[in-house]
Amino acid sequence: MKQLLFINELIRWNTGKDNEYTERILWIDSGGYILYTIDAFSQEGLPVAKRISDIVDALQAGVAEILEDDPLIRIDNEEAIKESDKIKRDKAWDVIADIVAPEKEPDIYLREKRGPWITETIEKHGVTYTTVYKYLRRYWQRGKNKNSLLPDYSNSGGKGKRKKLGDKKIGRPRKNIKVNGEGVNVDEDTKKIFRLAISEFYDNPKENNFTTAYDFMVKKYYSQDYSFENGVRKPIVIPIEKIPTIIQFRYWYEVEQDIVKSLKARKGNKKFALEHRAVIGKSDAEIIGPGSKYQIDATVADVYLVSRFNRTWIIGRPVIYAVIDCFSRMVAGIYVGLEGPSWIGAMMALANAFTDKVSYCKEYDIDIESKEWPCYHTPQAVLGDRGEMESRRADTLVNGLDIRIENTPSYRADWKGIVEQYFHLIDEQVKPLVPGHIDIDFRERGGKDYRLDAKLDIYQFTKIIIKCVLYHNNQHWMKKYESNEMMIEDDVDPIPRELWNWGIVNRSGKLKAHPKDTVKLNLMPVGTATVTENGLKFKKMYYSCQKAINEYWFEKARNKGTWKEIIAYDPRNLDYVYVKAEDGKSFIKFSIIDKRKYCDKTFDEIEYLLQYEKLKLERNAGKILQSKVDILSEIENIVEKAEKMTNEQLDGSVSNSTRIKNIREKRMIEKNAEKGENAFELEKGSKNEEPVKVISINEENSEKFKYPSHIEYLRKKQKERMEKHDE
């Protein structure tokens, strides 16, 4: 089979020898004759032309090899890049953007053509010859993407600023305002209550935890009336929407209070010093081959799904994302989720399009060969909707993977006709077989409620979509596909896989290679996790890894305080999350600790469960808070009675020294009394219990019940021993 080469691949020559070196492919002639490469590590290297046949021969002879790992490409999600680094990157990009534009390839690689452009750039931007070539080499050697111009030090973040309180309720709005209201601001009156509560219930030697202090505060300062139950006075708290939350209480405490003063009040000066002090148009126009342009779009499937947590829950309709190659109509990638259409869904579909499908299908218990779904490279351009692809997050595609983004004009969804046709085909295949599918009479009065027919979960539905994709790519005969003269001459069947394979051989040059982990981590959504004593916490789930254990991350969090880490995650499965390493080129893989609840579940499923549990809690928040106030009242009532009973006997006649004297003997008396009170007696009070039979003792039978004398018994034994000794 002919060796296929792709833009951005690294080729290592003379492995293990003194003259070993590595080149990156910069450009490939679509005619399959020449390509341009650059020494990937030379500080003075420049592009050179080579014959494709010579490289193919060297690869087959073992003189050269394709590297699968790329140590030069950065793993940078646009959201996680520091602004100062972006400024430096963009400044460097402005200098070379015009001379590395695609329309200037391959002329830019020729010294005589490149010279005048560099001179023009120096005059335009006021930079030196050395600076221009430094930027060009970095761009070419590190993967031909904008992020290759980022500085070589790791990102860091800054602290935020406090918000000012205005007339309107600040902070994130509650999701369930109808249930628990909008909430209250922490005004000056509320702060006064907070200060009193902290002083009375928290900053004292009793060492109440924060939640208990909050509950006592609610009981004392947010009660409107009282009720009596079994003689116990129980405060009735005001409506929960008028009570500040424990989050507001904690935030105010952390911002306003003196932690050193608080710890000294709770622990005492000595203990503080010991334990707590500081230790210092037409969809396929201008398409010449596979990878020239991908189209991406999303549709809401006309089917209802059930939850994998509880199959009686109907969780709504899934969103299907599809990425299709405009040249061959091959479905390059898909994603099925519950959120969207959204940026996350679009990026997950693209990540799927750019990575190996054999392992992906294996996740759904589908075994395929690579030739059945051979799409795993990045394209030259992606065409999408105005929306997801106009998001600032789409800069990740442009800057990190060197992909041109195109958007359809407003009201011109027909420009993405290829992917729209695919969705129509999917609906025709799925509709007759899938329970819970919506029919045209759904909105009519008296029409059947198809939601109640839902039987499939998201995993099973995704499996069905994968089966449809494999059929489309390998068997679907496209009657309306317009074959060109060369295809007709080569007798190519209008089936996506056949067209893809023909295009790779005859129209190569547009597909680009990237390390699979680089692609995934560039496109995965990012979030913020917290390093705690229990593990890396994200969405109420905890993760760990060997590196964190070896470096004592969790012990540090317990003793020195928690800290935040930016993570990347795969919404299809949250069994793992990824923290970018300090070198910016690798990552740390964390595994979920407790798999019993969340194992193999998608981000959307877990989010649905968490929201459901949160809503249940909010619906019962008033009841929970009232019950806490009730138990506090009951405890106080018991304590008051105990104090009254004790004080009545402490009339001053008993000194303190007498009270603490003979504690051990008093304890033994109490212990023996407790044994008698708490001893088990089986069938106590039973109706079948027989009365005790009393026997009268008279002179005749008195000898039978007379206990022997211990002294007489000892004398008898002594006499027997003496008689035996005399013998």
pTM confidence score: 0.54
Quickly list H helices, 524-652.
546-550, 553-560, 595-598, 603-619, 621-649
**Those residues with Cβ within 8 angstroms of residue 540's Cβ, 6 or more apart along the chain or in another chain:** 610
**Those residues with Cβ within 8 angstroms of residue 644's Cβ, 6 or more apart along the chain or in another chain:** none
Do 427 and 359 fall into the same domain? Answer: yes
> Which structural domain, as residue segments, surrounds residue 31?
10-67
Q: Taking Cα atoms as reference points, which of 107, 227, 247, 233 lies closest to residue 174?
A: 247
Question: What single-letter DSSP state applies at residue 692?
Answer: P
Give the torsion through C-alpha atoms of 475, 479, 481, 487, to 10 deg. 70
Do 143 and 231 fall into the same domain? Answer: no
Sign of CA dihedral 63, 68, 70, 71: negative
Nearest-angstrom CA–CA distance, 603 and 249: 30
In a domain, 282, yes or no: no
Nearest-angstrom CA–CA distance, 567 and 527: 5
In a domain, 551, yes or no: yes
Which of 566, 584, 611 represents a domain boundary (last residue)?
Answer: 611
Do 386 and 491 fall into the same domain? Answer: yes
Do 375 and 440 fall into the same domain? Answer: yes
**Over the stretch 403-438, which tens digit does the pLDDT of each residue have?**
888 876 544 444 455 666 666 666 665 555 566 566
Confirm if 298 and 419 have CB atoms less than 8 A apart.
Answer: no
Do 424 and 325 fall into the same domain? Answer: yes
Do 62 and 89 fall into the same domain? Answer: no
Question: What single-letter DSSP state applies at residue 640?
Answer: H
The number of domains in the chain is 5
In a domain, 378, yes or no: yes
Nearest-angstrom CA–CA distance, 704 and 708: 10
> Nearest 5°: phi and psi at 652?
95, -10
Q: Taking Cα atoms as reference points, which of 361, 338, 300 lies closest to residue 611?
A: 338
Confirm if 458 and 318 have CB atoms less than 8 A apart.
Answer: yes
Residues of the chain under the 70 pLDDT cut: 1-3, 75, 153-182, 206-207, 256-286, 340-341, 385-394, 396, 408-448, 508-510, 583-585, 595-604, 675-719, 721-727
CB atoms within 10 A of CB 134: 17
In a domain, 683, yes or no: no
Q: Give 330-335's long-range contacts (Cβ < 8 A, gap of 24+).
A: 330/290, 330/375, 330/473, 330/496, 330/497, 330/499, 330/500, 331/375, 331/422, 331/469, 331/472, 331/473, 331/496, 332/294, 332/375, 332/379, 333/375, 334/465, 334/466, 334/469, 335/572
Do 328 and 221 fall into the same domain? Answer: no
Residue 424 sits in a domain whose CATH number is 3.30.420.10
In a domain, 124, yes or no: yes
pLDDT of residue 587: 83
- Per-residue exposure over 553-562, b if at least 16 CB sit within 10 Å of its own CB, e if not: bbeebeeeee
Do 302 and 201 fall into the same domain? Answer: no
pLDDT of residue 159: 43
Which of 590, 611, 632 represents a domain boundary (last residue)?
Answer: 611
In a domain, 154, yes or no: no
Do 419 and 388 fall into the same domain? Answer: yes
Do 359 and 325 fall into the same domain? Answer: yes
Which of 275, 305, 324 represents a domain boundary (last residue)?
Answer: 275
In a domain, 144, yes or no: yes
Nearest-angstrom CA–CA distance, 585 and 75: 5
Confirm if 545 and 589 have CB atoms less than 8 A apart.
Answer: yes
What is the DSSP pairing of strand 563-569 with strand 541-544?
unpaired
Instruction: Specify the DSSP element, H or E, that contains 294.
Output: strand 294-300
Do 403 and 483 fall into the same domain? Answer: yes
Do 37 and 83 fall into the same domain? Answer: no
In a domain, 667, yes or no: no
Q: Give 553-557's long-range contacts (Cβ < 8 A, gap of 24+).
A: 556/531, 557/531, 557/532, 557/533
Q: Taking Cα atoms as reference points, which of 472, 500, 476 lies closest to residue 327?
A: 500
